[in-house]
Amino acid sequence: MSAAPFPPFPISGITIPTTPIVLAALEYSRAHTTVATVNHCLRSAAFALILARKDPTYASVDPETIALCTILHDMGWATTKGLLSKDKRFEVDGANIARDFIQAEIARAAADRDESRGKALEAKFDEHRIQLIWDAIALHMTPSIAAHKQKEVALTASGILGDFVGPHHPSGMITVEEFKEVVRAFPRAGYREEIPRNTCAMCVEKPETTYDNAVGELGLKLGVEGYKEKWEHNRMSDMLLGSLEMCEQYEG
């Protein structure tokens, strides 16, 4: 396997891990998503590592785990449609795909009779760590919850946010110079156009997964044809209040 194209980051002072499983995750992401998505995920990894370097809260967080969380976090946008479900939020698809990938890597190491690597992977990526990665990816669009979960989950969401807000990150820990360095390393490559395109596709293809999250909000803002009526019919507040009223007949 060739070395990952991770340049040095002299301004940011970070190093993205190049362990075999991280490189395999990068290859997997490249095989099943777009260049714009891959670069967004790599920028997110870089920003997460910048935050980890500066914030003592994250001093004990494992960089390899964070790299996997961020590099695989948008697998729910896979261009290989066979990887995706028809009834789950894209964050859950991504979390499921990441979990399957890690488990497959462990199994592959064992099948290749690389006993030492297989045992090392199995020991490090035990059920608890795989669940952490699953949670980090599934909750990366729900920062109000992710911020109160384990450090790996919180840092993943915070690093991903860094790619959207850059030097305006609420932590105040991403400088303009660091932001420019990361974007030079991993250019946007049409990512700004890809977000509305993917959002609109989800609102059309599986709208039931979008009514209670930011995808639905973007669908409304972007004016996806016929979506507003579906969203209004499935508004969470109306469903909750309506259900309470409907069930009053069974009380008393």
In the predicted structure, residue 1 carries a pLDDT above the cut 80: no
Say what the pTM is.
Answer: 0.89
3-state helix, strand, coil in the chain (%, to 5): 70, 0, 30
51-64 mean pLDDT: 96
Band of the pLDDT at 2, cuts 50, 70, 90?
very low
Band of the pLDDT at 113, cuts 50, 70, 90?
low
List Cβ neighbours of 161 (8 Å cut-off, separation of 6 or more): 143, 169, 170
Q: Which two tokens stand for residue 187?
A: 């250019």
Reduce the DSSP state of residue 123 to 3 states and report it: helix
Reported as a single tens digit per residue, the pLDDT across 155-180 is 999 999 999 999 999 999 999 999 99
Q: What is the pLDDT of residue 123?
A: 82
In the predicted structure, residue 31 carries a pLDDT above the cut 60: yes
Q: How far is residue 205's CA from residue 150's CA, in Å, rounded to a whole number?
A: 33
In the predicted structure, residue 19 carries a pLDDT above the cut 90: yes
